[in-house]
Amino acid sequence: MRIVRTVAELRALLDDERRAGRTVGLVPTMGYFHEGHASLMRRARDACDVVVVSLFVNPTQFDDPADLVAYPRDEARDASVAAVAGVAYLFAPEPAEIYPPGFATSVTVARVTEPMEGAQRGPGHFRGVATVVAKLFNIVQPHAAFFGQKDAQQALVVRRMARDLDFRLRVEVCPTVREPDGLAMSSRNVRLDADARRRAVALARGLEAARSRVLDGATNAVDVVATGRDAMRALDVEPEYFEVVSADTLEPVDPLAGELLVAVAARVGGVRLIDNVLVDAGAR
């Protein structure tokens, strides 16, 4: 595996790969890899000839400067994980390589960015996500890009952007990888102390309670949300939001029908976590 620092070097390497007829897969990340990241890399390796993983803690998507500073980083460890997963190129640029002096362009995706994470973190969050992902798509020009379902709203934003701007690639969203007790794997989990780690499973418990309520026949979102919130409060966790919305548009659904996204965010021990599940209301 080769670690690449500059856009020019990566483009030259990938031009050679494409001239040789090889397909390219991209896994965008902010590093501090766990099994969820590794599963995306393996999926990309199965689907494409050459895998590029970007390792870049994107400053423009953080609404809280302290959160940016505290975000865990360990490039040497990440490089080892990526190499084992069969990654060909680890793209680990400095911020100035992605945002050079005078950088003044951003990408804004309307509507699907507004609820949930957009409401909590402000319009700059998804503007930062869309901008950096658009840059990565242009730099790498992959045949396919791979994202995790845990960041469901982010994946929907990226899909909408790729469609609207005619990026010539396939966006693939892969299942959330969980710990044995149900906690969604996240780079932020390392910041949980023992008590917070015990209570953090409240997000998965709330989602499962809400999912079960939908599959049991509930058609009112208010009732489903109340069930999920109650399950979380049993572990002394209060969500920032708990939503049951259309999986395609993130808009409210009344009565509940079709494919739904049940999504939650909460701070546990000072660490902000998100999670979600998809539920097919037609399966009840």
Contacts of 264 (CB under 8 A, 6+ apart): 203, 206, 207, 228, 232, 239, 241, 242, 243, 274, 275, 276
Residue 21, marked binder: no
Q: Is 141 left (phi over 0), alpha (psi -120 to 50) or beta?
A: left
Residue 37, marked binder: yes
Helix (H, G, I), strand (E, B) or coil at 126: helix
What are the mean pLDDT values of the chain's consecutive 10-residue runs (284 residues total)? 98 98 98 98 98 98 93 97 98 98 98 97 97 98 98 98 98 98 97 98 98 97 98 98 98 96 98 98 81
14, 29, 37, 237: which is the annotated catalytic residue? 37
Residue 148, marked binder: yes
Its pTM stands at 0.96
Q: What is the enclosing helix (H) or strand (E) of 35?
A: helix 35-47
Residue 187, marked binder: yes
Task: Count the Cβ atoms, other than its own, within 10 Å of residue 141.
Answer: 17
Report pLDDT for 158: 98
Core vs surface per residue 109-140: b (16+ CB within 10 A) or e? beebbebbbbeebeeebbbbbbbbbbbbbebb
Residue 25, marked binder: no
**Is 143 known to be catalytic?**
no
Which two three-digit tokens encode residue 169? 């690639």
Q: How far apart (Å, rounded) are the C-alpha atoms in residues 216 and 213?
A: 5
What domains sit in the chain, N to C, each tagged with a CATH number? 2-174 (3.40.50.620), 187-278 (3.30.1300.10)
